[in-house]
Structure 1
Amino acid sequence: MIRATKVSKLQRWSEPPADTVVLDFDDRHRRRMAMTGTRGLEFLLDLEHAVALRGGDALVLEDGRLVEVVAAPEPLLEIRCNDPQHLVRVAWHLGNRHLPTQITGRALRIRRDHVIEGMVKGLGARVIEIEAPFDPEGGAYAGDDHGHETHGHAGHDHSKHDHGGHDHGHHHDHDHHDHDEHCSHEHHHGHSHAHEDK
């Protein structure tokens, strides 16, 4: 089976693609996976490292042909707020829970989740159920093979640290209780270096 071993990012390719693959968010965060294009082209995605693919990127086959990536529509929640400050406050609460979040000009989009829906409504936001491609911001989870959120801060990979002989043990002391607007204490997300390398 022919392999796709490279990715050509959006706007860096212009020739007509040999085929197209329609992938949801999870399948756009793989390193190795058998795929079939909409026109029947079968190939193996075989990248050196997992890459966060976006709609409009192209997979480069060993023979130089391209397969265009299209982001599949998914069941999402679109969160709308009263003003930019309100939007930022809701975005902070989503980020504090490490939720992949797409930021549009006027709204935030997340995967459907009844618990989070209740939380954002409690913060005064309006929530609309939509079907749309999910293209969240890159971040700590962007390099993860399955697109699931990880707790590596600023996207760095703790497994590659040279700790020079001292035991760090990377354990993140995140306080994950429900914060509300009346929280009087501050939350510091600094990583407490007791590093458990995984």
Structure 2
Amino acid sequence: MIRATKVHAQYRWSEPAADTVVLDFDDRHRRRMAMTGTRGLEFLLDLENAVALRGGDALVLEDNRLIEVVAAPESLIEIRGADPHHLIRVAWHLGNRHLPTQIMAKALRIRRDHVIEVMVRGLGARVIEIEAPFDPEGGAYAGGGHAHAPDNDPHDHAAHGHSSHDHGEHHHHDGHCDHDHRHDHDHGHSHAHDHK
């Protein structure tokens, strides 16, 4: 099976794509995965490191043909605030819970989550249920829209869907963090952060 071993960043390519893959947010955060394009082309995504793919990226096959990445529509909620300051306050609460969040000009988008919807409404924001591609911020681990991390790294936040949270963290590959203080989060485990 032919492999896709490289990625051309969002819209930085001009030649026609040989095929297209439509992927949801989770499937756009892989290092190695068998894929089939919408026109039937089968290939193996086989990247050196896990990469956070975005709609508009192109996967480069070994024979240099391109496969366009399209972000699949997902069940989301769009959050609107009374003014920009209100929206920033809501964004802080989402980031504090490590929720993947897409930042729009006048709204925030997250995956549907009843508990979070109740919290957001409690903060006075408006919640609208939508179906749309989900393209959240890459957070501290993204470089130019692409998050690179070793496969199976226990602290690969891009692969776990964490974003909107940048504390300049320093992670070690032995599974332990080197930090000055700890704070707990709603998702059942704690992360420590070294603020400098």
TM class by shorter chain equals 0.7 to 0.9
Contact in 2 for aligned 1:72/1:132 (Cα 8 Å): yes
Trace 1:18-33 onto structure 2 (pairs within 5 A).
18-33=18-33
For residues 29 and 153 of structure 1, what CA distance do their matches in structure 2 show? 22
- Unaligned 5+ segments in structure 2 are 142-146, 149-155
Corresponding residue for residue 54 of structure 1? 54
| Distance change (3 Å), C-alpha of 1:83 and 1:26 | same
How far has the Cα of 1:173 moved from its partner? 1.2
Q: Which amino acid aligns with 2:84?
A: P
Residue identity over aligned pairs, in percent, reads: 78
Corresponding residue for residue 173 of structure 1? 182
SS of residue matched to 2:182: coil
Corresponding residue for residue 115 of structure 1? 115
Residues paired across the two proteins, number: 176
Contact in 1 for aligned 2:56/2:69 (Cα 8 Å): yes
- Unaligned 5+ segments in structure 1 are 161-167, 178-188, 194-198
How far has the Cα of 1:134 moved from its partner? 0.4
Contact in 1 for aligned 2:170/2:177 (Cα 8 Å): no
Contact in 1 for aligned 2:169/2:194 (Cα 8 Å): no
Contact in 2 for aligned 1:152/1:158 (Cα 8 Å): no
Deviation per CA, 1:148-191: give whole Å up to 9, x if none.
3289844654328xxxxxxx7536611437xxxxxxxxxxx972
Corresponding residue for residue 65 of structure 1? 65
TM-score (norm 1): 0.80
Corresponding residue for residue 39 of structure 2? 39
Corresponding residue for residue 193 of structure 2? 191
Deviation per CA, 1:15-57: give whole Å up to 9, x if none.
0000000000000000000000000000000000001100000
Q: Which amino acid aligns with 1:12?
A: R
Superposition RMSD in Å: 2.6
For residues 68 and 176 of structure 1, what CA distance do their matches in structure 2 show? 36
Q: Which amino acid aligns with 2:183?
A: H
Contact in 2 for aligned 1:22/1:38 (Cα 8 Å): yes
Contact in 2 for aligned 1:74/1:131 (Cα 8 Å): yes
| Distance change (3 Å), C-alpha of 1:79 and 1:146 | same
For residues 66 and 94 of structure 1, what CA distance do their matches in structure 2 show? 36
For residues 121 and 94 of structure 2, what CA distance do their matches in structure 1 show? 12
Contact in 2 for aligned 1:54/1:69 (Cα 8 Å): yes
User: Which of the two has higher C-alpha Rg?
Assistant: 1
For residues 103 and 22 of structure 1, what CA distance do their matches in structure 2 show? 22
Q: Which amino acid aligns with 1:45?
A: L
Corresponding residue for residue 185 of structure 1? none
Contact in 2 for aligned 1:139/1:155 (Cα 8 Å): no
